[in-house]
Amino acid sequence: MRSGAGPIGIVGVGNMGGGMARRLLDTGWAVRTCDLVPEKVESLRRAGAEPVLTPAEAAAGARALIVCVVDAGQCDEVLFGPDGAAAALPPGAPVLLCPTIAPQDAESLAARLAAAGATAIDAPMSGGPARARDGSMSLMVACSDPAFAAAADLLAALSSRVFRVGTRPGDGAKTKLVNNLLAGINLVGAAEALALAQRLGLDLGRTLDVIEQSSGQSWIGSDRMRRAIAGDYEPRAHVSLLRKDTALAMEAAKHAGFDGPLGAAARDAFDQAARAGLADLDDAALFRWLSRS
């Protein structure tokens, strides 16, 4: 795919998009980057990426485009707003839609991209910036067979854990919402358990050592609570992201006629933590919020 092809355009080079950009640069791909924060683009320029100012410039002549922004509104702006990427893409170019968005938004964006002559790949991601950087993050891919074939080398370069979850755009978004709902439930549970351990006078590090080797273990609990114990709330994944994602998951559940006991409680916990002023901190800050409650 690299030979004789244009660069990979990436719009949105924050924690995850920046990790993907560096992964591609490390493995020999030409990368073109665009972001509202100039410092992020400049950092990647020093690593070998070509900086551009608009999504249209990122898309022009690109072999594929990766959209790695926060939500559906930003996707719409990147693709179809002023200086949007969709009109500038080469015919048939794959567009990876990587944010966590509602399934109906993924379907709508895919239809509009098809009308513009591009090929949508519903491809939400999971795993955090370090795993985006080393190519071990999960990609949940839903797209047509031709689209998957067209982007196979790019997907393989981005991740050793590519899961083909369906052929319909929207199925990737649904899978990501299910995953992130469970991540949110697990994180709230881990933060609650550690807050209780603190109240009981236990050593938090030793308690987490036990949990990690026992039935209470979860990856996100270990990852976030280690940071929380160290007082490290520098954002890798903001509280606001799981606030958004658990709310989207609950909307999808309502649409499907499903009512479970834990999802709404997790959604409300992230919402309350954000309202308490923690929205821009790492989501490990759930421990801070619960330990003060």
Instruction: Say if residues 269 and 279 touch (Cβ distance below 8 Å).
Output: no
* Sites in the chain below the pLDDT cut of 50: 1-4
131 lies in the same domain as 257 = no
Structural domain ending residue among the three candidates 168, 193, 212: 168
* Within-domain flag for 287: yes
Residue 199, domain CATH:
1.10.1040.10
Number of domains present in the structure of the chain: 2
18 lies in the same domain as 156 = yes
* Phi (first) and psi of residue 182, to 5 degrees: -65, -40
120 lies in the same domain as 212 = no
147 lies in the same domain as 181 = no
Note the pLDDT of residue 293. Answer: 61
* Phi (first) and psi of residue 60, to 5 degrees: -60, 120
Sorted by sequence, the CB contacts under 8 Å of residue 196 that are 6+ apart come out as none
* Within-domain flag for 89: yes
Q: What separation in angstroms does the CA of 218 have from each of 23, 40, 49, 222, 281?
A: 26, 32, 36, 6, 21
| Residues annotated as catalytic (active site), given as ranges | 176
User: Which tokens is 241 given?
Assistant: 């992201």
Domain that holds residue 266: 174-292
64 lies in the same domain as 14 = yes
The Cα–Cα gap between 181 and 242 comes to: 8
* Within-domain flag for 235: yes
* Within-domain flag for 2: no
* Within-domain flag for 105: yes
Angle between helices 263-273 and 239-256 (to 10 degrees): 150
18 lies in the same domain as 162 = yes
67 lies in the same domain as 13 = yes
* Phi (first) and psi of residue 110, to 5 degrees: -65, -40
In terms of phi and psi (left: phi > 0; alpha: psi -120 to 50; beta: otherwise), the region of 72 is alpha
Note the pLDDT of residue 3. Answer: 41
25 lies in the same domain as 115 = yes
* Within-domain flag for 1: no
21 lies in the same domain as 149 = yes
109 lies in the same domain as 245 = no
The Cα–Cα gap between 233 and 191 comes to: 13
Residue 109, domain CATH:
3.40.50.720
* Within-domain flag for 146: yes
Beta-bridge mates of residue 164: 141
Over the stretch 164-187, which tens digit does the pLDDT of each residue have?
Answer: 999 999 999 999 999 999 999 999
Note the pLDDT of residue 5. Answer: 72
Structural domain ending residue among the three candidates 127, 142, 168: 168
160 lies in the same domain as 233 = no
Note the pLDDT of residue 4. Answer: 45
185 lies in the same domain as 128 = no
Structural domain ending residue among the three candidates 106, 133, 168: 168
* Within-domain flag for 252: yes
Note the pLDDT of residue 197. Answer: 98
